[in-house]
Amino acid sequence: MQSPAEQPPLEDKDLRSIQEVRRLVARAYEAQKAFEKLPQSRVDEIVARMAAAALAQSERLAALAVEETGYGNPRDKHLKNSFVARNVADYIRPLRTMGVISEDAVRRVTEIAVPMGVVAAIIPSTNPTSTAIFKCLISLKAGNGVVLSPHPAAARCILESARACHTAAVEAGAPEGIIGCMSAPTLEATQELMRHRRVAVILATGGSGLVKAAYSSGKPAYGVGPGNVPSYIDRSANVAKAVKDVITGKTFDNGTLCSSEQSVIVDRPVEAEAAAHFKRLLAHFLADDERARLEAVAIGPNRSLNPQVVGKSAAWIAEKAGIAVPAGTKVLVVRLEGVGREHPLSCEKLSPILGYYVVDGWQQGCARCKEILAYGGMGHTLSIHATDAEIVRQFGLEKPAFRICVNTPATHGSIGLSTALAPSMTLGCGTYGNNITTDNITPLHLIQVKRVAWEMTEFFPSWMHDQEQPARAGVVSVPVTEIVDAYLAARAMGRGPRPKPAGNPAPPASNPAPAEPAPSAAAPPEPSRPSSPPAEPRAPRQEKPSRPLPKPVEFVCEQDVRTAIQARETIHVDSRTIITPAARDLGDSHSIFKSSNS
């Protein structure tokens, strides 16, 4: 870090940061070209070394993040860093992301992974170190280089996280510059990064304005939207556990994760029990006058959240609002009757402030959850606490959220810490939240897949049907002359129809006279014979027995029909004969088929 005396003048800061971005991208681009040639085993070793280094420095980086930003608490930030360095690293280790990643012997398709190139990673201030480590790990696992753009309020801790990962990667054999991080981020530099011609894809985590800018940059982008997460407690729930889960999720790192619970909706038959459990777990229910004072501190003039309360403790917020709360209070609970601008605390609060609703039955709870999601959390996350499987199923079918966490804290379930979802610090919200994906982002979102496909079905256009087609795979080709010779030999032996006489002989007369031999010049004239008695009537000529019809053939292709047409023959078939469609069309047009029954 530069000392204050070395800091550039303010008027030059944007130009210097833009130049730094260009230098970092150029280095990452050259490094990535060498890095993508490494085999999967080497890449896996490098990523494992990065994860180990991040885990070793997890506690230091967590403390640095709280010191710099004032958000959350060191204990939970340490847990988030460890979650990435352990859980995420374990999950991505067996993934195949380099070279041939699958071979299907039946379909004869081979899939080959291709890295995207350089990833532009936008890092937020609420979860700075864990998100920085996460994006470094998944980018390199996919064979990419990465350049980080830190939030200005968390620039130092994000830079330290990137340095830890980069040092470990280079020591394990990655090229210098494979990971880069801006040291003096500005809005202009971030825009330059997202538009840079050497950047292949943007991985943006932050506010809706930043995500919109990422999608407007002209680059492929994964952006994630805000999460105004509702949590429904049904009458069938284990109420004590449900309340504990909500408190656990809401207080984790003082509510800085966008998937933390923002409102709880309680079914009326269990409302009294739920309220008692909330109070037992150090939640403070605000009176009406206290709610007004909290709104004045937590909500800005434009009805949006005041950034000053983000990630602060319940006691700190209560003190700022002039609200007296019991010692050790963990959550400020606000009873609400509606959702929207007229109910400002129904928005995403990113702090230990929890909206509280009471409904009659799961249908009303379902409707209320939809309203809350529509007010700033579309597509993100919802949690439900119930033992009635049908109600859980209906919530899954009906809610406009792509992570439905059941009987678990929404905060931990959504990122894959307490569920079997893919562990991730970047959660897609789909088209509901103007995102490109609904997934928890993994290295598989940062690779491209090329496919090598062998022919499975032979195809020829119709104009080629008159040409001799090549032999099919696995079929022995027999010359046509051999087929014709065998056919003629069989016919000569009486096993086929006899050939018609050549030429056009004259038809016989109706009453032919017996032919007499022509007189010979050497033979004397024959003496006249005495008249003979009348000849006896001839016996009727016996008819030769009719020849049986030829045996029907078993298979007919188009070439068989063409051969029969040239030979002016018919082909005998029956109901068991297999005739190809092309042969059927050609044979019918020339009346070439003869049924064995005719």
Sorted by where each begins, the domain ranges of the chain are: 8-225+446-452, 229-420, 551-598
Kindly report the pTM of this predicted structure: 0.76
CA distance 251 to 353: 9
Burial class for 582, CB neighbours closer than 10 Å (0-12, 13-18, 19+): middle
Listed in sequence order, the residues at least 6 apart from 386 whose beta carbon sits closer than 8 Å to its beta carbon are: 232, 233, 234, 236, 237, 362, 392, 406, 407
Cβ atoms of 556 and 590 within 8 Å: the answer is no
Residue 91's closest CA among 128, 51, 42, 131? 51
**CA–CA separation, 308 and 401 (whole Å):** 28
Superfamily of domain 229-420: Aldehyde Dehydrogenase; Chain A, domain 2 (3.40.309.10)
CATH 3.40.30.10 assigned to 8-225+446-452: no
Cβ neighbours of residue 338 under 8 Å, at least 6 residues apart? 346
**Ramachandran area for residue 568 (φ above 0: left; ψ -120 to 50: alpha; else beta):** left
Distance CA 240, CA 399 (A): 25
The three-class DSSP label of residue 449 is strand
Q: Is 27 left (phi over 0), alpha (psi -120 to 50) or beta?
A: alpha
Identical fold, 8-225+446-452 and 229-420: no
**Backbone dihedral angles phi then psi of residue 595, each to the nearest 5 degrees:** -75, 145
Q: Which residues of the chain have pLDDT under 70?
A: 1-11, 465-549, 597-598
Residue 594 pairs with which residues in a beta bridge?
572
Q: How far is CA 17 from the centre of its chain?
A: 36
Q: What angle do CA 377, 378, 382 make, to 5 degrees?
A: 70
- As given in the structure block, the two tokens for residue 123 are 């890092």
pLDDT given at position 540: 57
Q: Say whether 258 is catalytic.
A: yes
Residues 261 and 354 sit within 8 Å (Cβ to Cβ): yes
Which H/E stretch holds residue 50?
Answer: helix 40-56
Q: What is the token pair recorded at 219?
A: 């680059």
Cα separation, 437 vs 428, whole angstroms? 5
Residue type, 170: V
Residue position matching structure tokens 């597509």: 379
Contact 468, 163 (CB under 8 A): no
Annotated catalytic residue, options 136, 165, 181, 258: 258
CB 35 within 8 A of CB 175: yes
> Under DSSP, is residue 497 helix (H, G, I), strand (E, B) or coil?
coil
| Residue partners of 595: CB distance under 8 A and separation at least 6 | 572, 573, 574
Distance (Å, rounded) from C-alpha 448 to C-alpha 117? 10
CB 340 within 8 A of CB 355: no
The answer for residues whose C-beta is within 8 angstroms of residue 261's C-beta and 6 or more apart is 229, 230, 231, 246, 249, 250, 354, 383, 409, 410, 411
> What's the pLDDT at 5?
45
Q: What is the pLDDT of residue 317?
A: 97
Largest Cα separation within the chain, whole Å, is: 161
| The pLDDT of residue 514 | 47
Token pair 């993100």 in the structure block, residue: 380
What is the token pair recorded at 258? 């966008």
